[in-house]
Structure 1
């Protein structure tokens, strides 16, 4: 098993300091630009709706779902970066603002996610990795992968996730973002405890989604909120799956991020849908998780120039590699 690599073997002390320096400006831009795209998508649908024929409206809604799901993933990545204290330099912006503007609108919790995710980093690719179930069973067949994608796009995966989230928020199941289900003993609980617990744990998601619905209502288009829900239940799970597959699926069990984690080349389409906020530089992230998103490309370039990493595959190449099993 490969041993964990020391950063001092890859970078000088000065380079590490430069790479890990954080910026409130860059963090703010990432959050604001993500919400600007979300707002712009809603505005485009609202302004174009009455001028389009039925087929045009259908295409517009499909495009809106794809764009919104891509930005929902961006919110998840911003939460992920904040869990490493790397999104903002200022702690309140990193922990509180990001929780309310990024985690809560997609029914998540920055502080619970941080505890879960730190275990993933310390136990990557081992049996104790809490995310190992997300990438188990690869490589698989193309038919199997297509069935997974169909479940995602049809809403089956999203519905299961929503049910799981309810079970977690009523504290019937342990909190997780993986596929593992660990039940909590309900001994001594009363039926009245469940709605109280749900409101306690889901209050942030309810408040932030109510705010989004209210904004659309005030703009005269409350029905557009349905696009946010549909995006969350359909393309969003697909984008999450592709992102997770690209990061760790099919990689060998190892203690080194150089071998147990994959960086993937992302073009404009991939960055819009499955690789926002430079999350495709995942090998670099696992090597030094405190490097902020906007410095990951520089870190990758430095590693390439020194021969520590090779040219990364594209997302299409990764999907082909992970679906090449023949029955």
Structure 2
């Protein structure tokens, strides 16, 4: 099995530089979690008072839902808190959850990044695709079809595959058990908001962002990180892509420095808040010229949807 090449941090950083980058904070990760939830509650409160802002709230909340997933991803690398027990507890219960299932899968992705054994290779291998195909995917994301398939596709398949006369109830109860955290959150939120006439808040200000905007920006994140990166790439500076993100993009589609994905693969245990400084140091040393980078998310999408497009002919 081809293990992806690794980089020794000493190749690019002095001991003092690396110590400053790799030190895990006891409060920064928790502060980022608090920030994500504060933004979610603030956007929801504004939407309740001024319903005309609901479309903006959906994008903002969906962006922070991705942010919570990113912080859970940091916890998978043990980078959310210097105490591993606190790291794992916060990653499991204060972010998007699912840390215990996600960690082994994700670390396998890092071990075999862009190699045949990479479990995430299926996400990047189809690219480039046509513009029509990309539009269809985005429409499915924005209309909730992707979310429904991911959440309930296996459940539907098990119902269809059951033998004649086999009872449905055990399959339903198993699905409820699998979704108990999701359902518990829904029930608790509705119970707390319904007495104030806000029974709809969970559906509009949590489920709707999760089922629509979160899906499309998660796809965009996956495309930006690995699409059109060569399979079996031997250079560890080109296993993933770093994409320049402006202020609006960081607010709506690329929270908590997720756009520095090449640096993350180069030094996968760095906390997310250390990635911008790592990028600046690498740029000062001329290393970023050798890395896989993109000037914008639009440029990445254009490249990812370039199949069938005419290529420029030199004059």
Output aligned runs, 1:84-95, within 5 Å.
84-95=77-88
Q: Which of residues 292, 313, 317 in structure 1 aligns to 2:299? A: 317
Q: Which of residues 196, 210, 226 in structure 2 aligns to 1:232? A: 210
| Unmatched tracts of structure 2, length 5 or more | 310-315
Structure 1 distance, partners of 2:194, 2:242, is 41
C-alpha displacement of 1:298: 0.4
Structure 1 distance, partners of 2:264, 2:122, is 20
Partner of 1:119: 108
Structure 2 distance, partners of 1:7, 1:32, is 31
Q: Normalization by structure 1: what TM-score?
A: 0.83
C-alpha displacement of 1:193: 4.6
Q: Deviations over 1:35-92 (max 9, x none)?
A: 111111111111124xxxxxxx3xx222221111111111111111111110112223
Partner of 2:143: 154
Q: Which of residues 262, 267, 274 in structure 2 aligns to 1:288? A: 267
C-alpha displacement of 1:218: 5.6
Partner of 2:178: 201
TM-aligned CA distance change 1:216 to 1:135, over 3 Å: farther
C-alpha displacement of 1:217: 3.4
C-alpha displacement of 1:3: 4.5
- Is 1:276 the counterpart of 2:255 in the alignment? yes
Do the aligned partners of 1:5 and 1:256 also contact (CA within 8 Å) in 2? no
- CA-based RMSD of the aligned residues comes to 2.6
SS at 1:140 equivalent: coil
Structure 2 distance, partners of 1:45, 1:144, is 33
Do the aligned partners of 2:76 and 2:91 also contact (CA within 8 Å) in 1? no
Most deviating of 229-238 and 190-199: 190-199
Do the aligned partners of 1:85 and 1:290 also contact (CA within 8 Å) in 2? yes
Most deviating of 193-202 and 81-90: 193-202
Partner of 2:11: 9
Structure 2 distance, partners of 1:220, 1:92, is 40
| Unmatched tracts of structure 1, length 5 or more | 50-56, 173-183
Partner of 1:52: none
SS at 2:307 equivalent: coil
Q: Deviations over 1:98-144 (max 9, x none)?
A: 2112124xxxx111001110111001112211111112211122222
Do the aligned partners of 1:278 and 1:293 also contact (CA within 8 Å) in 2? yes
Q: Which of residues 110, 116, 128 in structure 1 aligns to 2:99? A: 110
Corresponding residue pairs, total: 299
- Is 1:249 the counterpart of 2:227 in the alignment? yes
Most deviating of 156-165 and 214-223: 214-223
Structure 1 distance, partners of 2:71, 2:6, is 26
TM-aligned CA distance change 1:193 to 1:282, over 3 Å: same
C-alpha displacement of 1:212: 3.4
TM-aligned CA distance change 1:200 to 1:250, over 3 Å: same
TM-aligned CA distance change 1:219 to 1:65, over 3 Å: same
Q: Deviations over 1:239-270 (max 9, x none)?
A: 00000000010012324331121000011121
- Is 1:259 the counterpart of 2:238 in the alignment? yes
Structure 1 distance, partners of 2:78, 2:192, is 30
Structure 1 distance, partners of 2:219, 2:173, is 32
Structure 2 distance, partners of 1:229, 1:87, is 26
Do the aligned partners of 1:34 and 1:74 also contact (CA within 8 Å) in 2? yes
